[in-house]
Structure 1
Amino acid sequence: MDELELTEPWEGVLITPGPSSHTGVLVLAGSSGRIERERARILAQEGMTAMSIRWYGGPGQSPGICEIPLETFVSAIDLLESTGVRRICLLGSSKGAEAALLTSIHDPRVDGVVAMSPTSVVWGNIGPGLDGQQHPYRSSWTWKGQPLPFVPYDDDWRAAEPANGPKAIRGWYERSERTFADLLPTAGIPIEETRADVLLVAGGDDAMWPSLPFAERLAARRRAAGRPARLISSAEAGHRLRLPGEGPAPASPQFLYGGDAVADAELGAAAWPHILDLLRG
């Protein structure tokens, strides 16, 4: 395998399995913003050209997930396409899944999307924008300079866990949906508009946000439009699903993610053959 470090216009890594590959995969992390090297390497070992980029928090980028241009991912697809791959796919987790689904709607070159622990609506910003401000809430994403409709957060919500320990914030998202229910129709991700094949993977014990209900809504919305969508789920898995070859996710001092190492790996293993089928087309 050949591993190329990327520095412009964003930090990242491009891994090619050999002289040519049929599929190119853009791998997007969630709110950590990290470059998903391990996951990209695993995909490259399966014969795919895999790229992962830092899509916020890097040089010249917004310090938070605030009004991130979807064109960031379009330009990454440009680079991936230039390697000669014939099938373009996106694989994202959490906020990365949100970005992947939205990008596939706006860029018709995307042939497939794997959305792990996804959301069914666009959410407000997490952290500050380029202006350094966190409030009032703004959209996480823009397209052609315009913010996408979004659901803000109800800041009256309080976690049940002690103030000095990691917290489950799923209830914050659930309360925010109830508080701003009138915004849900316009903030919904129009998954029926993507031409890409769609695979959703979610755990019912997700303590970060209700990804399984979100995934079920996405699948129902797509099927109502006469378009297929496959959902792989487990009642025991949490937010940070692990694919075969990946180690367990480290504990967080801030958040509880639900599930456990065994359940999260089992759902990843169950989804893996379906992920490979979709990516390979």
Structure 2
Amino acid sequence: MVTYDVEQLEGKVRGAFFKGIASSRTGVLVLGGSSGRVDTGRAGLFSHAGAHTLALQWFGGTNQSPGICEVPLETFIDAVDFLISRGCERIVLVGTSKGAEAALLASTIDPRINVVVAVSPSSVVWGNIGAGVDGIAWPERSSWSLDHTPLVFVPADLSWQKEYRNGLVSYRSFFEKCLANDPQTNSRARIQVEKSTADLVLVAGGDDALWPSYDFARKIVQSRRAHGRSTRLIFDKNAGHRVLFPGETTPRSVLHAHGGTDEADALLGQEAWRAIATML
């Protein structure tokens, strides 16, 4: 296995590239969540399974938005281009949380994406987390843009009162409250997953304390089913937002609650990995 600093290879793409077995034609793009972590650990897991793998830095880098604010979806299309330029013919996107939101959106506009594994996903577009390229975080804007046009998003409800679990803020009720407002806008913010030609694998825990990922996953399944597209949902009622694939020890955030338990998160991750491994 060979690791390259992608910034030395492609000006448009930043992160870490892991070269799998030479005969592999599968390319995996790994997208972390709102922590901004370039998930080299998870990328290494896919590389050891034989795939060429790119752990992408999609915000917070040079000439990138410092936060998740109007991040161009073209960022992910450029990464697909990169994998294809390395001989990859089968493209798999693996995204967690906000990274799953990005992966699902990218698959609706790029038919070259064959599989999306969305871990703790969202079924709608949300507002920004942090500042945009202009250094400004407020007023609220979309997390994403396409062709320099911001995507419609579910607006924040500023009347929400914080809730806590184990001394940490649980944001789940915030997202639920936002979704209960302005049905017309929220409908327009829906990720149009029926447009995705990719096979979708959704991984969600019923005890997610960050946002209601299982409810989101079920909505995605319903939208796909209504258009004759199948989707696999892998679920554990006791798991939280942080799903652990085999061997992973990703730490919990000290800023907000994840829900779940280490044991349940790992069990869900093991079940998900069995399904993913068959695709690889």
TM-score bucket of the superposed structures, by smaller chain: over 0.9
Pair 1:41-2:44 in alignment: yes
Quote how far apart the aligned CAs of 1:9 are: 2.9
Match status 1:60 vs 2:75: no
What is the aligned partner in structure 2 of residue 101 from structure 1?
Answer: 104
Distance 2:146 2:135 in 1: 21
Q: How does 1:190-269 map to 2 (within 5 A)?
A: 190-247=192-249, 249-269=250-270
- Structure 2 partner of 1:6: 6
| Counterpart residue type for residue 2 of structure 1 | V
Cα distance, 1:18 vs structure 2 = 2.7
1:45-90 CA distance string (max 9 Å, x none)? 1110110111001111111100000000111111111111110110
The answer as to whether partners of 1:91 and 1:100 remain within 8 angstroms in 2 is: yes
Corresponding residue of 1:276: 277
Aligned residue among 111, 114, 131 for 2:114: 111
Cα distance in 1 for partners of 2:181, 2:174 equals: 10
Q: Secondary structure at the match of 1:226?
A: coil
- The equivalent residue for 1:121 is 124
Shift of 1:152: 1.2
Counterparts of 2:124 and 2:90, CA distance in 1? 27
Alpha-carbon deviation of 1:10? 4.1
Contact kept? 1:27, 1:39, Cα under 8 Å: yes
Specify the code of the residue in structure 2 equivalent to 1:251.
R
Question: Can you give the 5+ residue segments of structure 1 that lack an aligned partner in the other structure?
Answer: none
Match of 1:184 among 162, 183, 186: 186
Counterpart Cα distance in 2 of 1:220 and 1:211: 14
CA distance in 2, matches of 1:91, 1:166: 27
The CA deviation at 1:33 is 1.6
Contact 1:88–1:112 (Cα < 8 Å) also in 2: yes
Structure 2 Cα separation of the partners of residues 229 and 76 of structure 1: 24
For 1:148, the equivalent position in structure 2 comes to: 151
SS at match of 1:167: strand
Report the AA paired with residue 178 of structure 1.
Answer: A
How large is the Cα RMSD of the aligned pairs? 1.4
1:10–1:59 Cα contact (<8 Å) kept: no
The one-letter code matched in structure 2 to 1:138 is R
- After superposing the two structures, state which structure 1 stretch, 267-276 or 196-205, moved more: 267-276
- Per-residue CA deviations over 1:134-160 (Å, capped at 9, x if unaligned) read 222111111111111110111111112
Does the alignment pair 1:169 with 2:197? no
Are the aligned partners of 1:241 and 1:265 in contact in 2 as well (CA < 8 Å)?
yes
Name 1:157's counterpart in structure 2.
Answer: 160
Q: Quick one: percent identity of the two aligned structures?
A: 48
**Which portions of structure 1, spanning 4 or more consecutive aligned residues, are displaced by more than 6 angstroms?**
none
Q: Give me the whole-angstrom Cα distance separating, in 2, the residues matched to 1:107 and 1:277.
A: 23
Stretches of structure 2 that go unaligned for 5 or more consecutive residues are: none
* Counterpart residue identity of residue 258, structure 1: G
Q: Partners in 2 of 1:271 and 1:253 — Cα distance? A: 26
* SS of aligned partner of 1:122: coil
What's the CA shift for 1:184? 1.6
Whole-angstrom distance in 2 between the partners of 1:17 and 1:220: 35
1:172-194 deviation line (CA, Å, top 9, x unaligned): 10011112322121110110101
Contact 1:20 1:85 in 2 (8 A): no
